[in-house]
Amino acid sequence: MALQGINLPLAFSGQEAIWQKVFMGFNISMEDLNDFFGGPAFLAWARMGNLHTWGGPLSKNWLKQQLVLQKKILSRMVELGMTPVLPSFSGNVPAALKTIFPTANITRLGDWNTVDGDPHWCCTYLLNPSDPLFVEIGEAFIKMQIKEYGDVTDIYNCDTFNENSPPTNDTIYISSLGAAVYKAMSNGDKDAVWLMQGWLFYSDSTFWKPPQMKALLHSVPVGKMIVLDLFADVKPIWATSSQFYGTPYVWCLLHNFGGNIEMYGTLDAISSGPVDARISKNSTMVGVGMCMEGIEQNPVVYELMSEMAFRKEKVQVLEWLKTYTHRRYGKSVQQIKEAWAILYHTVYNCTDGIADHNIDFIVKFPDWDPSINFGSRPSKLNSMHTFRLRTRSRRFSFQERSSDLPQAHLWYSTHEVVSALKLFLAAGNDLAGSLTYRYDLVDLTRQVLSKLANQVYLDAINAFRRKDVKALNIHSQKFIQLIKDIDVLLASDDNFLLGTWLESAKLLAENPSEMRQYEWNARTQVTMWFDTTPTNQSKLHDYANKFWSGLLEGYYLPRASSYFSYLSKSLEKNESFKLVEWRKQWVSFSNKWQAGLELYPVKAQGNFLTIAKALFDKYLS
């Protein structure tokens, strides 16, 4: 991070141990906190007040371990000249606080993506910033961090209003709320600066009109707030808000949702957006940032974004790619230059304004009855589409498409990208020993084959609608074979292995019980994600989908196989597709897999170049 110029990193680890100490001072027991904290793979959402308990409880070992880790992280950050950003109090409180302080202004929030509003996981409690208890708890939290960590920063993050609008749009009230949030910080650290996401101004723009924005942004002393223009790579707020009405801000790249693996980017926006913002009239931009939901994908995007902190002029991307590829692979190869020129104008030139969230059908398998039109039916999948737009914002910019079939996100010519893959393969003799070439070739081959699988899926669905059993079986078997072949491909590179993810989670455990819990958390986050009923998948199923070897063969393959088997049987028996029966079987399988203990490889297997060439010949030549 330091070598890439990052000097203001978030440092959020270990905060549950701090909260335990703080809430003990307000008579909150560890038992109460077991109902408050989320599990290790779901901490971010518990901290935001989206959920509670799910994946928990957190053991004493975990709390102690994470606090020790946080202190090591902070020590290293300071040593490298960085200024850590610590969390502050946003109002998210345990349910028990309402009992202990019955007169406190505590609101129970609505459901957040549970299947049927299950209060065991949903509907957390928010202490209103206008309540005196808010400042008291917020001050105690800041002071406890300073006691544990020392004086390592004056910058604190708080997002009380992120996906949670104030109860009224009255500007005086909004200003008082902002002042209370800041008072909780400044009472604990007199030099405190509030770092706030600007996502709410985009996601809830119907509420945050100019008067409301100004009321919040101007509710703290000048220079005591920094806003993150979170989605500036696609939807910059600075340009439509008079530079956040004079408030300093950071131009941010969001880019990735759910840690999905998908070749995608907006290189032109990255290469010019920060420069345009910096030189604009009355600019209040003070830096550039990255706030992706997951990393370990699309290295080219983050490489270019990191450089923008140091550049005064816009980057000529095509020329930059020539030097980038030379550095990345260790030598200059003509076919690689030509391939990257194609990728620049295709996969890395998404201009449709859709926030990319991989919904390729292998990893985000449609849950629907294909005998009913996709766009017009009141089905679960279609209602999910509109539901997410309404609640998570919020984290999506999906475009509605008028089609009677599911549509995966596609913004480029697949034919051109196949040509790029052909050029990549041609460079194999020169670059076979390069691990970065191996990664990029495996990823590009996966990208091409996953888009092919989308079409094969639609071919199978159309065959079902024609009641053509033979064609359905041919196309569905091709889809199944693509999953198997992509799994073998991904197994040839260490960066695409499910086993690595699972074993890293298990290594944190200090006893068998923790090991089972941590593995369940790791398995659940990348698959079903949240709660289910016997006949309903989680509303967030596949949110964090991954193209990982082991996950394709062990999880996505059985799902597709059982679904197509039900389709085929319905044609053979001349009866309606039993969607609910399939869901019941699949949810049962998924729940068992999430609790499973089978081992997956942690080392690459097979020759990546041989495999990629064979798959190109098999499917694309």
**HEC-encoded secondary structure of 545-586:** CCCCECHHHHHHHHHHHHHHHHHHHHHHCCCCCCHHHHHHHH
pLDDT per position as a tens digit, 212-222: 999 999 999 99
> Backbone phi, then psi, for 484, in 5-degree steps?
-60, -45
Reference 355, options 406, 382, 389, 387; nearest CA is 389
- The answer to whether the CB of 448 falls within 8 A of the CB of 417 is yes
471: in domain: yes
Report whether pLDDT(381) > 60: no
Whether residues 455 and 559 fall in one domain = no
397: in domain: no
Helix (H, G, I), strand (E, B) or coil at 93: strand
Whether residues 519 and 566 fall in one domain = yes
Whether residues 163 and 219 fall in one domain = no
Domain boundary among 288, 310, 332: 310
pLDDT per position as a tens digit, 221-266: 999 999 999 999 999 999 999 999 999 999 999 999 999 999 999 9
The confidence band for 69, taking pLDDT boundaries of 50, 70 and 90, is: very high
Check residue 373 and give its pLDDT. Answer: 79
Whether residues 74 and 214 fall in one domain = no
Reference 133, options 105, 108, 109, 99; nearest CA is 105
- The answer to whether the CB of 137 falls within 8 A of the CB of 68 is no
Report whether pLDDT(209) > 60: yes
Those residues with Cβ within 8 angstroms of residue 565's Cβ, 6 or more apart along the chain or in another chain: none
Can you tell me the distance from the alpha carbon of 185 to that of 134, in angstroms, rounded to the nearest whole number? 11
Can you tell me the distance from the alpha carbon of 158 to that of 92, in angstroms, rounded to the nearest whole number? 11
404: in domain: no
403: in domain: no
- What's this model's pTM, rounded to 2 decimal places? 0.94
> Backbone phi, then psi, for 118, in 5-degree steps?
-65, 115
3: in domain: yes
Whether residues 268 and 334 fall in one domain = no
Can you tell me the distance from the alpha carbon of 113 to that of 36, in angstroms, rounded to the nearest whole number? 17
pLDDT per position as a tens digit, 486-537: 999 999 999 999 999 999 999 999 999 999 999 999 999 999 999 999 999 9
DSSP 8-state class, residue 574: T
Whether residues 338 and 466 fall in one domain = yes
Whether residues 220 and 300 fall in one domain = yes
- The answer to whether the CB of 140 falls within 8 A of the CB of 97 is no
How many independent structural domains does the chain possess?
Answer: 4
87: in domain: yes
* Strand-strand pairing, 92-93 and 125-127: antiparallel
* Strand-strand pairing, 125-127 and 155-157: unpaired
Could you tell me which residue, 359 or 163, shows the higher pLDDT?
359
Domain boundary among 422, 454, 489: 489
Whether residues 63 and 6 fall in one domain = yes
* Alpha helix positions (H), 432-468: 435-465
Report whether pLDDT(569) > 70: yes
Exposed (0-12), middle (13-18) or buried (19+): which is 268, by Cβ within 10 Å? middle
620: in domain: no
Those residues with Cβ within 8 angstroms of residue 176's Cβ, 6 or more apart along the chain or in another chain: 129, 130, 219
Report whether pLDDT(391) > 70: no
Check residue 161 and give its pLDDT. Answer: 81
Q: In this structure, what CATH number is given to the domain that contains residue 145?
A: 3.20.20.80
Check residue 356 and give its pLDDT. Answer: 77
Helix (H, G, I), strand (E, B) or coil at 393: strand
Reference 538, options 77, 116, 24, 56; nearest CA is 116
Whether residues 83 and 35 fall in one domain = yes
> How many Cβ atoms sit within 10 Å of the Cβ of residue 322?
15
pLDDT per position as a tens digit, 299-337: 999 999 999 999 999 999 999 999 999 999 999 999 999
Check residue 375 and give its pLDDT. Answer: 59
The confidence band for 152, taking pLDDT boundaries of 50, 70 and 90, is: very high
Can you tell me the distance from the alpha carbon of 49 to that of 53, in angstroms, rounded to the nearest whole number? 11
Domain boundary among 456, 489, 522: 489
Whether residues 332 and 453 fall in one domain = yes
401: in domain: no
- The answer to whether the CB of 240 falls within 8 A of the CB of 277 is no
- The answer to whether the CB of 201 falls within 8 A of the CB of 161 is no
Structural domain boundaries enclosing 101: 1-191
Whether residues 134 and 86 fall in one domain = yes
Whether residues 344 and 447 fall in one domain = yes
Check residue 400 and give its pLDDT. Answer: 39
Check residue 164 and give its pLDDT. Answer: 74
Q: Which residues pair with 226 in a beta bridge?
A: 195
